[in-house]
Amino acid sequence: MKIVLASSNEHKVKEINEIVNKLGYDIEFILPEGKFDPVEDGNTFEANSLIKAKAAWELTKTWALADDSGLCIDSLGGKPGIYSARYETTPQKRIERVLNEMKNIENRKAHFTCAMTLINPKGEIEYACNGICEGSIAYKPSGKNGFGYDPIFLLKNSDKTMAELNDDEKNEISHRSLALQKVLNYISEAHLVENE
């Protein structure tokens, strides 16, 4: 089974295909051809995920999966939230802005969230779900793996940041991987594809 991933991010499709292969599903995620850059003007992760999934379906008229994710910090009222990718102009500056805003704040609780939407070839929502990874904001960056806010995201019940995990370790606990596993379970239980 092939599913179009509503993204233009090679890294993301590689990460998702690795998780799928590891779990033994006969599914391949592929990127849409050409430029894929729909306007994400929803007010929630779910709304933006649906916008992207529908845009990928419009292009391909086949199975399409979209994810929309970001970092939510309790004491900043859920910010950067849906603005995670545009909170500042570079990943480094985004981290600096968060650390600055958290300077005198004791409650550092935060979570990554990922909303996924699966659209069927008829253009209907087949399944939608969320994955959440809980943690807190560190006082300084640490670790070199991953991307985005990983160096300042301390994992719950651990002294490591997300950027101190290797790819396999991150794939076991990440918001994206948890949401993806729900989608894969659904696909398997609905017999859209057989588990190998």
Catalytic residue set: 68
Nearer residue to ligand IMP within complex by CB, 32 or 148: 148
Residues 6+ apart with CB under 8 A from 9: 31
Q: Out of 47, 59, 76, 85, point to the residue binding ligand IMP (CB under 6 A).
A: 85
Radius of gyration (Cα) for the chain, nearest Å? 17
Q: Select from 24-32, 57-65, 66-74, 186-194 the region that touches ligand IMP (CB under 6 A).
A: 66-74
Q: Out of 19, 29, 70, 129, point to the residue binding ligand IMP (CB under 6 A).
A: 70
5: exposed, middle or buried (Cβ count in 10 Å: 0-12, 13-18, 19+): buried
Q: Out of 60, 84, 117, 161, point to the residue binding ligand IMP (CB under 6 A).
A: 84
Q: Out of 51, 57, 112, 179, point to the residue binding ligand IMP (CB under 6 A).
A: 112
Cis status of the peptide bond prior to 141, with omega within 30 of 0 = no
Q: Out of 6, 19, 51, 71, point to the residue binding ligand IMP (CB under 6 A).
A: 71
What is the token pair recorded at 94? 């985004």
CB neighbour burial string for 107-134, b if at least 16 within 10 angstroms, e if fewer? ebebbbbbbbbbbeeeeeebbbbbbebe
Nearer residue to ligand IMP within complex by CB, 35 or 191: 35
75/121 Cα distance (integer angstroms): 41
Q: Which of residues 124-183 bind ligand IMP (CB under 6 A)?
A: 146-150, 162, 174
What is the token pair recorded at 8? 């233009």
Size of the site for ligand IMP (CB under 6 A): 15
Nearer residue to ligand IMP within complex by CB, 63 or 135: 135
Nearer residue to ligand IMP within complex by CB, 63 or 112: 112
- Eight-state DSSP code of residue 110: E
Q: Binding residues for ligand IMP, per CB under 6 A?
A: 67-71, 84-85, 112, 146-150, 162, 174
